[in-house]
Amino acid sequence: MSFLSKTNQPRSWGRYPKVTPAEVQSVFWRSELPNIADFEQPVLPYAYGRSYGDSCLNEGGVSLDVSHLRRFISFDEDEGLLCCEAGVSLAEILELIVPRGWFIPVSPGTRFVYVGGAIANDVHGKNHHKAGTFGCHVTRFELLRSNGERLICSPHENTNLFQATIGGLGLTGVILWAEFRLKPIVNPFIDMERIQFSSLDEFLQISAETDQQYEYTMSWVDILIGGQNLCRGIFMCGNNDQSRSLASKKTGRKLPLTVPFDLPSFVLNSLTVKSFNELFYHSQLSKRVHKVVPYEPFFYPLDSIHEWNRLYGKRGFLQYQFVVPFQDGFGAMREIIGRIRRSGEGSFLTVLKTFGTIRSPGMLSFPRPGITLALDFAYGGQKTLQLLDELDKVVRQSGGAVYPAKDARMSAENFQAFFPRWQEFAQYVDPHFSSSFWRRVSHAQKLVMV
Amino acid sequence: MRILIVGATSAIAHETAKRFAKDGAEFFLVARSPEKLEDTGNDLKVRGAKRIETFLLDVTDLDRHQEMIETAISTLDGLDMVLISHGTLGDQQKCQVSVSETLKEFTTNCTSVISLLTILAGYFEQQKRGCITVVSSVAGDRGRQSNYVYGAAKGALSVFLQGLRNRLSKSGVAVVTVKPGLIDTPMTASVKKGLLAASAQGVGEGIYRAMKNRKEVVYLPWFWRPIMLIVRSIPEPVFKRLSL
């Protein structure tokens, strides 16, 4: 445990853009809430800054730090129903529930996000095809509005606000606490398989074969290699292990590694990225490897390196995650991968997955059936932004979408095309709330012809 | 483990209690605000506390100390540990021009604790086991112009604890003086934090270990011990000219 506290000066995980709010205001107790209408600037809740782009930033506004609202409220261990304040992190929840035979229903790739953020971004995980998004498991939450109202929202109560807040990017009010369903587990282990594949076709084939059988699937891919095959990679799929008891000894706690300072920008270049990918692909000698591992390295491989975002140096990076529908998804993927290759920008960590058909209640929820790819690009100024604009165009033509939680630059026009319900959503945005992201994507044309 | 915590809703008391809750402790929580007390109690319960009892008390109401302690002892059927962690970071500027402000600071940060300790010491001395832990402060190690009222209250407290430790050691009762530096908590929300501000979690972990290991004086984080050694060793003719 680190002794020194981190000053909570809002930053996003990609560290681009670097903007500052006019004011940071902390909330410590549910019984001592600020009167939001009193703030002269628009407000945005913030906790751990794990959103990549500017959806958690509020330049010139008020950043409402809710990371101190981190108390549990109740835990029904028979029903698997957990209720906690919005600032509790998934890491803290896992520490509590795993030894008692429960797991979070949907987990993103890091456990250092807070519950409010998991709802506001309607996060997804490796089990999207089986369980949908985080929002699908939320039974209710309390929302503080700027008029002082505290509303309980659920699928049956204040339904519209419930749907607007799930995936609502923190714009509909402050989530004070939430209750959600957990998933029972027998032990903290994952029974997993790693399968090498050498083309996008093969990925889709393995995906189709394993989706029924496995709860969790995702792939790491290298898109810079493979020519017409578009990519090669390792498909990882797993289920919660059933074969041993809950009390099974966990492997000893490893000391977390940390990146203590910003690496110089040249460290991550196309050569090091290529070597890393080469090593990773060949880290297994046979095509299929089967093993049983603790849940942490399976779900959160990067959490073991604290502040890995510093690998990109001071310039920061942009993450780009999009989804394209299965139908003509292949063509769009070919086009996108081609453009990235031609641009010469390497992506250090590239993740490929398919989304299933389970619909989230969220109006602005990102996942929809199709193929999703998440890429990291070191921020290299105009040329990076230009490349991503080009990719947006392809995604839009195919009827897909780009993920707001990871975005720092998409245009208003594209956002409005990706999220056709945005105007319906906009009615529920609290008049005293805004974000850097929202100001960018909600202005300009009000009507978009797609 | 039966633990009485006074000032139970303070960030560092809560962080300490979370760790004892995980061990399945029983708590008697004392604080001023019913809402905060309920929030804190519920959290500890979910985290594994076997039992939560609460008591509303403004610590400056010295007349109720005896009643509170008797209730704690009878409700939990005895006490194994006590943690006293209430406090206010008063406004030094206001205190300088107001006797009543100064005395108020003293009542909250020093006199009320001495009152509690005087009653508790008798109980623990008779029981011949247990551990009394009090949150003092590095500010009590040397008076500085920026916060000598708070510092003097904590300093008096530290000296009182030294004496109490000396007295109770014969009875097998541990007295732990915790001296935190600046911590990032609601109490210090308005104070500008430098590089050395500690997290409440880290300090809570430190107090938990100090209580379990029956330490004497702990500085949290540890680096305040050498820092305060230096601060204390600066000769007064030099020290008085510094703007600390």
What CATH number did the domain enclosing A211 receive? 3.30.70.2520
Residue B131 within a domain:
yes
Check if B205 contacts A (Cβ < 8 Å): yes
3-state secondary structure (DSSP) of residue B166: helix
Residue A429 within a domain:
no
Total number of domains in chain A: 1
Residue A243 within a domain:
yes
Q: Cα–Cα distances in Å, from B171 out to B127, B167, B217?
A: 8, 8, 18
Nearest CA to A365 among A177, A163, A158, A131? A163
CB atoms within 10 A of CB A242: 10
Between vectors from CA A431 to CA A425 and to CA A432, what angle results, nearest 5°?
125
Check if B199 contacts A (Cβ < 8 Å): yes
Domain that holds residue B235: 2-239
Residues of B in contact with A73 (CB under 8 A): 39, 42-43, 46
Residue B48 within a domain:
yes
Residue A207 within a domain:
yes
Residue B231 within a domain:
yes
Spatial contact of A99 and A72, defined as CB atoms under 8 Å apart = no
> Which pairing describes strands B131-135 and B174-180: parallel, antiparallel, or unpaired?
parallel
Per residue in A343-393, pLDDT (tens digit) is 887 777 799 999 999 999 999 999 999 999 999 998 989 999 999 999 999
Amino acid at A290: H
B47 contacts A74? CB cut-off 8 A: no
In order, the DSSP letters of A252-295 are PPPPPEE--SPPPGGGS-HHHHHHHHHHHHTT-SSSEEEEEEEH
Check if B236 contacts A (Cβ < 8 Å): no
Q: Is the ipTM of this complex over 0.85?
A: yes
Helices (H), A98-198: 115-120, 128-131, 159-165
Spatial contact of B35 and A29, defined as CB atoms under 8 Å apart = yes
Residue B60 within a domain:
yes
Q: Would you tell me which residues 40-79 of chain B have a C-beta closer than 8 angstroms to some C-beta of chain A?
A: 40, 42-43, 46-47
Nearest CA to B197 among B207, B211, B187? B187
CB atoms within 10 A of CB B9: 25
Which element (helix H / strand E) includes A192? strand A189-197
CA of B19: which chain A residue's CA is closest?
Answer: A96
Residues of chain A with pLDDT under 50: 1-2, 252, 444-450
A7 contacts B193? CB cut-off 8 A: yes
Nearest CA to A184 among A114, A98, A116? A98
Per residue in A111-120, pLDDT (tens digit) is 999 999 999 9
CA dihedral A440, A416, A424, A408 (to 10 degrees): -40
Spatial contact of A293 and A190, defined as CB atoms under 8 Å apart = yes
CA of B41: which chain A residue's CA is closest?
Answer: A73
Residues in chain B: 244
- Say how far residue A262 (Cα) sits from the centre of its chain: 23
Backbone φ and ψ for A69, nearest 5 degrees, come out as -85, 75
Domain that holds residue A290: 189-409
**Burial state string for B22-32 with b = 16 or more CB within 10 A and e = fewer than 16:** beebbbbbbbb
Amino acid at A22: A
Strand blocks (E) in B22-123? 26-31, 51-56, 81-84
Residue A283 within a domain:
yes
> CATH no. for residue B107?
3.40.50.720
CA distance A371 to A354: 4
CA distance A150 to A133: 25
CA of B221: which chain A residue's CA is closest?
Answer: A3
CA distance B24 to B47: 8
Spatial contact of B173 and B164, defined as CB atoms under 8 Å apart = no
Per residue in A93-144, pLDDT (tens digit) is 999 999 999 999 999 999 999 999 999 999 999 999 999 999 999 999 999 9
Residue A229 within a domain:
yes
Here the tokens at position A283 are 């880290």
Q: What is the maximum alpha-carbon separation in chain B?
A: 55
Total number of domains in chain B: 1
* pLDDT, one tens digit for every residue, chain B (244 residues): 999 999 999 999 999 999 999 999 999 999 999 999 999 999 999 999 999 999 999 999 999 999 999 999 999 999 999 999 999 988 899 999 999 999 999 999 999 999 999 999 999 999 999 999 999 999 999 999 999 999 999 999 999 999 999 999 999 999 999 999 988 888 777 776 666 778 899 999 999 999 999 999 999 999 999 999 999 999 999 999 988 8
Residue B244 within a domain:
no
Residue A126 within a domain:
no
